[in-house]
Amino acid sequence: MYLSIAARAFQSRLAYRSQVWASFFGQTIQILARIAIWTAAYAGTASVEGVSLDDMVTYSILAGTVLAAWYYEALIQDIGTSVKTGDVAVFLLKPIRYPLYLFSSAFGEFAFRITAVVLPVVIVISFIYGLQPPASLFHGLMFASFWLLSFIILFELAATCGLLSFWLLTSFSLTYFLQGVIALFSGSLVPLWFFPPAFEAVARLLPFAWIAYYPVAVYLGQLGVEETLLFFAFGLGWAGLLALGIAMLWARASMRLIVQGG
């Protein structure tokens, strides 16, 4: 059942062909800009803190495209609008769980974005700049697992913000807030290793780091086997904790909805 919700979401996206093209060009330009910035920042230096320019190009491609495949802002907006218009009540009329419904449909969109936007962009950019292969087979496989975990955590953070709109009745400010926090703490713009040590130490423990920083660090082989597994387990812990938080938020939100009428 939830699988077919995901399939419907995937299919829904297909209805808008021009959107695919717009996303494709938008993403490509964004990645080119990032690579240009790093090239300028390196200014001919072979490596900064042990990281080469080639590594940074790969980092940009992975963090900027692959790990930003899913457009989480839309989820917050969607929950916000359906709270505002009362459409959320429709989901209470069906024998389904709303958070799982959201996850399934987000997953459908995620899958769509990967096939329709991410893969083509990565292929095109790799042709121009060259994408480094993963550090090892192990790191490559672990990257795939981290990638999925990254989507789950990103979804959970967005869903949490979306559900908060039940109380705040505004999703716009929440979207802004999450965008800022993610840009800073996830390493999607600037890898955490370039931050001051104290800041880095804190950021590495927050769930945002699993969105972009850890997956790429694993891909590039910056973490050893044991460390990789350890941080994967750590990330799973965060995912579990956030899932629990969403379940609680939803229970309270739906209680509020049926008691107060939204």
User: Residue 92, interface with other proteins (CB under 8 A)?
Assistant: yes
Write out the two tokens for 12: 């829904």
Crossing angle of helices 98-113 and 72-85, in 10° steps, is 140
Q: What is the rounded CA–CA span in Å between residue 135 and residue 105? A: 33
Q: How far is the CB of 119 from other proteins (least distance, A)?
A: 23
User: Residue 258, interface with other proteins (CB under 8 A)?
Assistant: yes
Write out the two tokens for 200: 């880095």
Asked if 66 contacts 147 with a C-beta cutoff of 8 angstroms, the reply is: yes
Near other proteins by CB under 8 A: residue from 90, 205, 225, 241 = 90
- Residue number, 101 or 138, with CB nearest to other proteins: 101
Helical spans, DSSP H, in the chain: 2-14, 17-42, 53-64, 72-85, 88-92, 98-113, 119-129, 137-168, 172-185, 197-203, 213-219, 225-260
Q: How far is the CB of 16 from other proteins (least distance, A)?
A: 8
Near other proteins by CB under 8 A: residue from 16, 21, 167, 177 = 16
The site for other proteins, by CB under 8 A, has a size of 22
Q: Which stretch binds other proteins (CB under 8 A): 5-13, 30-38, 50-58, 135-143?
A: 5-13
Q: Which stretch binds other proteins (CB under 8 A): 11-19, 36-44, 57-65, 117-125?
A: 11-19
- Residue number, 93 or 198, with CB nearest to other proteins: 93
**Any idea which residue has 């940074």 for tokens?**
56
Q: Which stretch binds other proteins (CB under 8 A): 22-30, 88-96, 178-186, 231-239?
A: 88-96
Q: Which of residues 96-135 bind other proteins (CB under 8 A)?
A: 96
Four-CA torsion 201, 138, 72, 236, nearest 10 degrees: -60
User: Residue 4, interface with other proteins (CB under 8 A)?
Assistant: yes
The values of phi and psi at residue 250, to 5°, are -65, -40
Q: Which residues bind other proteins (CB under 8 A)?
A: 1, 4-5, 8, 11-12, 15-16, 86-87, 89-90, 92-96, 257-261
